Amino acid sequence: MAKIIPFKAIRPTRDKAYLVSSLPSYVYKKNILTAKLESNPFTFLHVINPEFRKDNKTKPNSIERFEKVKEKFDEFRRNGVFIQDKKDIFYLYRQITPTNTYIGIIAGISVDDYLNGTIKIHEQTLTQREETFKMYLDVCQFNAEPVLLTYKDNPAVETIIDKYLSKRSEYEFCTTHLIKQDLWLIDSTEDIKNLTVAFSNINEIYIADGHHRSSSSVLYAKTRRDSNPNYNPDDKFNYFLAYFIAESKLNIVEYNRVVNHINGLTEDEFLNKLSISFDIELKKSSFKPTQIHHFSMYLNKKWYLLKTKKELVSSKNIIQNLDSKILSDHVLNPILNIRDLKTDDSISFIEGTKGVEGLKKVVDSGKAKVAFGLFPVSIEQLKAVADANEIMPPKSTWIEPKMRSGLTIYSLTP
């Protein structure tokens, strides 16, 4: 059973919500990040980049840098950019993009649900990143961006969501990415109780995005517990910020690969090696794979369909049957000599939202030699991997919605 809690969010005043909310700092190109920081004094990017335009900067990901982040956050609070709700409530959050609508509940989720397996993972975390984010939590004492969690569609939850959609939202604005944002306050005592009960009857929750933030929050809580064995289970550090979205509303997009060489092979030699594992068809125009175990490939201004030979997918092992694993085991590793997707500079990854034109563009520009388009992982595959306690290959999924920072901040202190 999942244990969620309402909380008193620290959040922007209604008139500044559209100015405060931001994507993570690393998403923006340097020139765009600079422009946003120069033109908008309220963007949460100032909290994340507290030493903008200062000469003597602290070291990134250091205690000193995180102390500056906390100082800037406190400054935003003192200046009235942020307010804090007076009672513990839930929040209903919606994104409307040109192609999809995402809607779900923002709440605190218990770290014990991570420890006991109610929250299931499909991605391996890096110890160094966990330790860095734990240090951030030690110093800053807040979660600013919710972890994205998904669960099987639940009628009780949907009933409460539908009730609020007919009301005026607390926040309503559109971003420059053409995404409309809405936030409602679920402040009814009855609705809060009913949501808590509804989630207590959900036994399986899956991390869609935010594995490192989740694991770091758990590590932080365990450290706090170890230092005080008589801790109060209701203390805020026993929970972390999460956005719950039903499976049917989640969008899993393919994560494509581009490689800057074909390992010294001629085009014909490369195709001959591919033919050992794939049936190859030359296509007349660009395309996306339409089924599992099919790949698109763009090489020398030509598009090819690669159909994985049946004998390669006869295994019942869910990981071996993932298209990202098939591509690594039969192309990237043996033919292109790419051993580690995390460290090899010759391979890059492009989210499927950029379409086939994104693949074509990077190859035609000369930045890559060959591009591979994959078929998206299904929610069933993701769950099967997590249920089997397995780990997907790196960059197997691009999952939407992508959450924004600074709209509902969860404080780890009373």
Q: What is the pLDDT of residues 84-96, one digit of tens each?
A: 999 999 999 999 9
Check residue 26 and give its pLDDT.
87
> Distance between CA atoms of 66 and 136, rounded to whole angstroms?
6
> Distance between CA atoms of 194 and 40, rounded to whole angstroms?
40
Q: What is the pTM of this model?
A: 0.94
Confidence category of residue 355, pLDDT binned at 50, 70, 90: very high
Confidence category of residue 232, pLDDT binned at 50, 70, 90: very high
Q: Tell me the pLDDT tens digit for each residue of 157-197.
A: 999 999 999 999 999 999 998 999 999 999 999 999 999 99
Residue 403 has, within 13 A of its CA and on its CB side, a CA count of: 28
Among candidates 294, 298, 288, which has minimal Cα distance to 310?
A: 294
Architecture in CATH of 255-375: 2-Layer Sandwich (3.30)
Confidence category of residue 124, pLDDT binned at 50, 70, 90: confident
Alpha carbon of 377 to those of 72, 321, 333, 338: distances in Å? Answer: 40, 11, 21, 22
Alpha carbon of 236 to those of 42, 52, 105, 221: distances in Å? Answer: 27, 31, 18, 9
Asked whether residue 77 carries a pLDDT value surpassing 80, the answer given is yes
CB atoms within 10 A of CB 277: 20
Confidence category of residue 316, pLDDT binned at 50, 70, 90: confident
Q: Would residue 47 be called left, alpha or beta, if left means φ above 0 and alpha means ψ between -120 and 50 degrees?
A: alpha
Asked whether residue 353 carries a pLDDT value surpassing 90, the answer given is yes
Asked whether residue 414 carries a pLDDT value surpassing 90, the answer given is no
Residues 6+ apart with CB under 8 A from 266: none
pLDDT (average), residues 273-280 = 98
Please state, for a pLDDT cut of 90, what percent of the chain lies above it.
94
Confidence category of residue 55, pLDDT binned at 50, 70, 90: confident
Asked whether residue 314 carries a pLDDT value surpassing 80, the answer given is no
Q: Tell me the pLDDT tens digit for each residue of 104-113.
A: 999 999 999 9
Check residue 56 and give its pLDDT.
84
Confidence category of residue 248, pLDDT binned at 50, 70, 90: very high
Confidence category of residue 22, pLDDT binned at 50, 70, 90: very high
Task: Read off the amino acid at residue 48.
Answer: I
How many Å separate Cα 294 from the centre of its chain? 25
Yes or no: say if 184 and 92 are a contact pair by the CB < 8 Å rule.
Answer: yes
CB atoms within 10 A of CB 171: 23
CB atoms within 10 A of CB 285: 6
Asked whether residue 126 carries a pLDDT value surpassing 90, the answer given is no
pLDDT (average), residues 346-361 = 96
Sign, Cα dihedral of 355, 125, 405, 152: positive
Q: Tell me the pLDDT tens digit for each residue of 144-157.
A: 999 999 999 999 99
- What does the domain layout of the chain look like in residue ranges? 4-252+401-411, 255-375
Residues 6+ apart with CB under 8 A from 33: 25, 45, 49
Residue 15 token pair: 């008139």
pLDDT (average), residues 193-208 = 97
pLDDT (average), residues 139-145 = 98
Rounded to 5 degrees, φ, ψ at 236 are: -60, -30
